[in-house]
Structure 1
Amino acid sequence: MRIITGIYKGRHFDIPRTFKARPTTDFAKENIFNVLNAYIDFEDATALDLFAGTGSISLELLSRGCNSVVSVEADREHANFIRQCTTKLGTDKCLLIRGDVFRFVKSCHQQFDFVFADPPYALPDLEKIPNLIFQHQLLKPNGVLVFEHGRGNDFSQHPHFVDHRAYGSVNFSLFKAPENKEV
Structure 2
Amino acid sequence: MRIIGGTLRGLRLNPPTNLPVRPTTDLAKEALFNILQNRVQLEGINVLDLFSGTGNISFEFASRGALLVTAVDRNQGGINYVNDTARKHKLENIKTFKADVFKYLEMETPTYDIIFADPPYDLNRIPEIPKLVFEKSLLSPGGLLIVEHQSMQNLSNHPAYTEQRKYGHSSFSFFNQPAS
- TM-score, normalization by structure 1: 0.95
Residue aligned with 1:134, SS: helix
Partner of 1:10: 10
Q: Give the RMSD, CA atoms, in angstroms.
A: 0.9
Partner of 1:114: 114
Query: For this pair of structures, how many residues does the alignment match?
Result: 180
> Which deviations, in whole Å up to 9, do the C-alpha atoms of 1:94-139 show, x marking residues without a partner?
1100111111101111000000000001112111111111111110
Partner of 2:73: 73
Q: Indicate if the aligned counterparts of 2:54 and 2:82 stay in contact, CA closer than 8 A.
A: yes
Unaligned runs of 5+ in 1: none
Residue aligned with 2:127, SS: helix
Greater shift, 109-118 or 157-166, is seen at 157-166
Structure 1 Cα separation of the partners of residues 106 and 134 of structure 2:
11
Q: 1:88-107 alignment to 2 at 5 Å?
A: 88-107=88-107
Partner of 1:135: 135
- TM-score, normalization by structure 2: 0.97
Partner of 1:52: 52
Residue aligned with 1:126, SS: coil
Q: Indicate if the aligned counterparts of 1:72 and 1:96 stay in contact, CA closer than 8 A.
A: yes
Greater shift, 88-97 or 59-68, is seen at 88-97
Q: Indicate if the aligned counterparts of 1:39 and 1:144 stay in contact, CA closer than 8 A.
A: no
Partner of 2:169: 169
Structure 2 Cα separation of the partners of residues 163 and 124 of structure 1:
21
Q: Indicate if the aligned counterparts of 1:150 and 1:169 stay in contact, CA closer than 8 A.
A: yes
Residue aligned with 2:146, SS: strand
Q: Where do 4+ consecutive residues of structure 1 move more than 3 Å?
A: none
Unaligned runs of 5+ in 2: none
